[in-house]
């Protein structure tokens, strides 16, 4: 049986092949960019990738609860940034955004000093995907089930 | 689909459908905005700025849905030579670009108090800005070629451009998952929503409202393009005497 393709079927196959090739190219480009297009380094990255002191980077993670301390000069703050795998001490001299708090996300621009402390020149607060009214503030969020549950006995966060 | 290839049949459906989509959409989106401003609580962290979400999320969805529509229309135009598909692609472009711009602007206004910056070059923001530029390029190509084929639709080159640009859509969607980004991860997924129900519900109104409104605008623009080509054809006949 001779396979005779109608012109429009030929065009359909051509269009689908082109589309598949395009999407494949896009995905390859995106995966190649995976590291380059990252907006910030996590504390874990900062430890494993040996970023030399003085190199301008962004460091992103959570501000460790209880680590935020104001220096005697009143404008310098010291805090620890974590991704639950590694902890990096950081310092910042200036005005932090309103949403910058302990236990929330932060993206700090700056560089490491030779002692391994991250010296931030600018702080950005990173908001997470949770939105809730103030009365639910004390509730516990489960990362796996993505459910909020009432938290009767407050557990210390790591 | 070929049943609608006939412009007369298309018009007989589009004409009565347009006012329904327009007015129901407008009522829903106004209701959603009012509910979102008055009835919902503020967020525990963001405060009142959370309310921008009722505009920002539908705008982002329609900006991306618009380009998906352009890509689907492009396939139908290239494969089946569907004359209305070429017109649909051209009709979607301007409202799609407008909603992409609204998404970028509302996001920037929200970012200043929340993140502490108007703009950062993270994956989500950059890919959304690229979408806006793709729209501008598509509109320029479509306008440059309109009238050449005498049917009011976009040229084949513009259709191919629309198809190629679709690569950006999954990149926008996945940008916050693939790369560390300043923009938060997806709140609404197949596994549920991390936006509390008391804040979330007006979003359904504005999401459906803006979508119906978008559809009404696209139908209006398609009808306008069809009418324009009809006028042009008549003028040419008259000129020939």
Burial profile B2-16: b = 16 or more Cβ within 10 angstroms, e = fewer? eeeeebeebeeebee
A73-116 pLDDT, tens per residue? 878 889 999 888 888 999 998 888 878 888 888 889 899 988 88
Residue with more model confidence, A152 or B13 = B13
| Bridge partner list, A82 | A62, A87
Q: How many CB atoms lie within 10 A of CB B30?
A: 13
User: What is the spatial distance between Cα A79 and Cα B97, in angstroms, rounded to a whole number?
Assistant: 42
Q: Which of A30, A33, A128, A147 to mutate against chain B (most B CBs within 10 Å)?
A: A30
CA distances to A50, A51, A59, A85, B210 from A44, rounded to whole Å, are: 10, 11, 10, 6, 42
Phi and psi torsions of A108, nearest 5°? -110, 135
- Cβ distance A124 to B53 less than 8 Å, yes or no, reads no
Residue A150 has pLDDT above 60, yes or no: no
- DSSP element (H, E) containing A69: strand A69-70
Query: Which of B2, B39, B43, B45 to probe the A interface (max A CBs under 10 A)?
Result: B45
- Residue B45's nearest CA partner among A105, A42, A90, A59 is A105
Q: Do A131 and B187 touch (CB under 8 A)?
A: yes
CA distance B155 to B144: 9
Burial of B70 (0-12, 13-18, 19+ CB in 10 A): buried
Q: How far apart are CA A141 and CA A137, in angstroms?
A: 10
Other CB atoms within 10 Å distance of the CB of residue A154: 8
User: Is any Cβ of chain A less than 8 angstroms from the Cβ of B41?
Assistant: yes
pLDDT at A103: 83
Closest chain A C-alpha to B21 CA, distance in angstroms: 31
Q: Supply angle C-alpha B208, B213, B215, rounded to 5.
A: 95
Q: What is the pLDDT of residue A140?
A: 55
Give the tens place of pLDDT for each residue, A47-76.
888 788 888 888 988 888 888 888 888 788
pLDDT tens digits, chain B, 241 residues: what are they? 555 667 788 888 899 999 999 999 999 999 999 999 998 888 887 888 889 999 999 999 999 999 999 999 999 988 888 888 989 999 999 999 999 999 999 999 999 888 888 998 888 999 999 999 999 999 999 888 765 555 677 888 999 999 999 999 988 988 888 888 889 888 888 888 888 888 889 999 999 999 999 999 999 999 999 898 888 888 888 988 7
Task: Confirm if B149 and B155 have CB atoms less than 8 A apart.
Answer: yes
Coil, strand or helix at A149? strand
**B49 DSSP 8-state letter:** G
B4 touches A at CB < 8 Å: no
Q: Return d(Cα B170, Cα A30) in angstroms, integer.
A: 10
Cβ-Cβ contacts under 8 Å, A148 against chain B: 196
Confirm if B116 and A127 have CB atoms less than 8 A apart: no
Q: What is the H or E stretch that residue A152 is in?
A: none
A39 contact residues in B (CB cutoff 8 A): 120-123, 179-182
What confidence score (pLDDT) does residue B63 get? 97
- Say whether residue B147 is in contact with chain A using an 8 A CB cutoff: no
Is B114's Cβ below 8 Å from some Cβ in A? Answer: yes
| A97–B116 CB contact, under 8 Å | yes
Contact status, residue A27 vs residue B95, Cβ threshold 8 Å: no
Q: Is B128 left (phi over 0), alpha (psi -120 to 50) or beta?
A: alpha
Q: Name the minimum distance, in Å, from the CA of B192 to any CA of chain A.
A: 8
Residue B79 touches partner A, C-beta closer than 8 Å: yes
Query: Which chain A residues are Cβ-neighbours of B185 within 8 angstroms?
Result: 128-129
């Amino acid at each position: 049986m001779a396979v005779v393709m109608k012109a429009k079927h030929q065009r359909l196959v051509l269009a689908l092949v082109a589309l598949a090739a395009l999407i494949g190219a896009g995905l390859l480009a995106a995966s190649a960019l995976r590291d380059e297009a990252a907006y910030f380094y996590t504390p874990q990255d900062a430890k494993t990738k040996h970023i030399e002191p003085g190199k301008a980077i962004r460091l992103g993670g959570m501000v460790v609860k209880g680590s935020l301390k104001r220096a005697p000069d009143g404008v310098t703050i010291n805090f620890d940034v974590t991704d639950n795998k590694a902890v990096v001490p950081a310092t910042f001299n200036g005005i932090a955004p309103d949403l910058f708090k302990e236990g929330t996300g932060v993206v700090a621009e700056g560089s490491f000093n030779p002692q391994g402390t991250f010296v931030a020149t600018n702080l950005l607060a990173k908001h997470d995907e949770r939105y809730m009214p103030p009365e639910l503030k004390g509730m516990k969020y489960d990362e796996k089930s993505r459910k909020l549950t009432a938290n009767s006995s407050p557990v210390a966060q790591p | 689909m070929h049943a609608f290839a006939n412009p007369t049949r298309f018009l007989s459906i589009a004409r009565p459908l347009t006012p329904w989509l327009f007015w129901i959409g407008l009522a829903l989106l106004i209701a959603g905005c009012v509910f979102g401003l008055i009835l919902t609580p503020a967020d525990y962290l963001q405060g009142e700025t959370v309310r921008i979400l009722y505009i920002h999320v539908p705008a982002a969805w329609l900006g991306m849905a618009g380009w998906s529509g352009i890509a689907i229309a492009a396939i139908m135009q290239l494969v089946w030579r569907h004359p209305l598909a070429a017109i649909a692609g051209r009709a979607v472009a301007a409202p799609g670009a407008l909603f992409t711009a609204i998404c970028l602007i509302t996001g920037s206004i929200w970012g200043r108090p929340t993140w502490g910056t108007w703009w950062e070059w993270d994956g989500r923001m950059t890919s959304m800005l690229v979408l806006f530029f793709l729209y501008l390029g598509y509109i320029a190509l479509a306008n440059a070629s309109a009238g050449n084929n005498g049917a009011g639709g976009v040229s084949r080159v513009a259709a191919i451009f629309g198809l190629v640009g679709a690569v950006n859509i999954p990149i926008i969607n996945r940008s916050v998952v693939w790369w560390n980004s300043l923009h938060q991860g997806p709140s609404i997924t197949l596994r549920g929503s991390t936006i509390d129900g008391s804040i979330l519900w007006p979003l359904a109104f504005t999401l459906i409202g803006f979508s119906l409104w978008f559809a009404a605008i696209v139908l209006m623009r398609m009808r306008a393009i069809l009418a324009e080509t009809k006028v042009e054809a008549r003028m040419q006949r008259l000129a020939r005497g």
